[in-house]
Amino acid sequence: AALAQALKALKNAGVTVVVITHKVNLVQNVDKILFLREGIVERFGKRQEVLANLMEKRKAAVAALEPAE
Protein backbone atom coordinates (compact mmCIF):
# COMPACT_ATOMS: atom_id res chain seq x y z
CA ALA A 1 0.00 0.00 0.00
CA ALA A 2 2.85 2.38 0.78
CA LEU A 3 4.40 1.86 -2.65
CA ALA A 4 1.07 2.49 -4.40
CA GLN A 5 0.64 5.70 -2.39
CA ALA A 6 4.16 6.83 -3.26
CA LEU A 7 3.54 6.19 -6.97
CA LYS A 8 0.29 8.17 -6.80
CA ALA A 9 2.07 11.07 -5.09
CA LEU A 10 4.78 11.08 -7.77
CA LYS A 11 2.17 11.07 -10.53
CA ASN A 12 0.33 13.97 -8.89
CA ALA A 13 3.65 15.85 -8.77
CA GLY A 14 4.06 15.38 -12.53
CA VAL A 15 6.97 12.94 -12.24
CA THR A 16 7.42 10.29 -14.93
CA VAL A 17 7.84 6.86 -13.35
CA VAL A 18 8.49 3.50 -14.99
CA VAL A 19 7.18 0.55 -12.96
CA ILE A 20 7.92 -3.10 -13.64
CA THR A 21 5.49 -5.31 -11.76
CA HIS A 22 3.28 -8.37 -11.70
CA LYS A 23 0.97 -6.71 -9.17
CA VAL A 24 -2.21 -5.28 -10.64
CA ASN A 25 -2.78 -2.94 -7.69
CA LEU A 26 0.38 -1.01 -8.62
CA VAL A 27 -0.97 -0.11 -12.07
CA GLN A 28 -4.25 1.40 -10.89
CA ASN A 29 -2.92 4.97 -11.13
CA VAL A 30 -0.78 4.70 -14.25
CA ASP A 31 -1.54 6.37 -17.56
CA LYS A 32 -0.18 3.69 -19.89
CA ILE A 33 0.75 0.01 -19.72
CA LEU A 34 3.33 -1.88 -21.74
CA PHE A 35 2.48 -5.59 -21.40
CA LEU A 36 5.23 -8.08 -22.25
CA ARG A 37 4.89 -11.81 -22.75
CA GLU A 38 8.17 -13.72 -22.99
CA GLY A 39 10.00 -10.47 -23.75
CA ILE A 40 7.72 -9.49 -26.64
CA VAL A 41 5.38 -6.49 -26.52
CA GLU A 42 1.86 -7.91 -26.51
CA ARG A 43 -0.07 -4.74 -25.67
CA PHE A 44 0.70 -1.06 -25.21
CA GLY A 45 -1.76 1.72 -24.56
CA LYS A 46 -4.01 3.44 -22.08
CA ARG A 47 -4.42 1.54 -18.82
CA GLN A 48 -8.15 0.95 -19.16
CA GLU A 49 -7.86 -0.31 -22.75
CA VAL A 50 -4.98 -2.69 -22.03
CA LEU A 51 -6.58 -4.10 -18.87
CA ALA A 52 -9.95 -4.55 -20.62
CA ASN A 53 -8.25 -6.42 -23.47
CA LEU A 54 -6.34 -8.66 -21.08
CA MET A 55 -9.53 -9.45 -19.14
CA GLU A 56 -11.28 -10.44 -22.38
CA LYS A 57 -8.38 -12.77 -23.22
CA ARG A 58 -8.49 -14.25 -19.71
CA LYS A 59 -12.23 -14.90 -19.93
CA ALA A 60 -11.79 -16.58 -23.32
CA ALA A 61 -8.98 -18.77 -21.97
CA VAL A 62 -11.06 -19.82 -18.94
CA ALA A 63 -14.06 -20.58 -21.18
CA ALA A 64 -11.86 -22.75 -23.40
CA LEU A 65 -10.87 -24.83 -20.37
CA GLU A 66 -14.46 -25.50 -19.30
CA PRO A 67 -15.85 -28.90 -20.30
CA ALA A 68 -18.16 -28.95 -23.30
CA GLU A 69 -21.81 -29.72 -22.60
What 8-state DSSP symbol labels residue 11?
A: H
Q: What angle do CA 7, 9, 14 make, to 5 degrees?
A: 95
Span 41-58, pLDDT tens digits: 999 999 999 999 989 988
Q: Whole-model pTM above 0.85?
A: no
- Contact by Cβ (8 Å): 50, 28: no
Is the predicted pLDDT of residue 61 greater than 90, yes or no? no
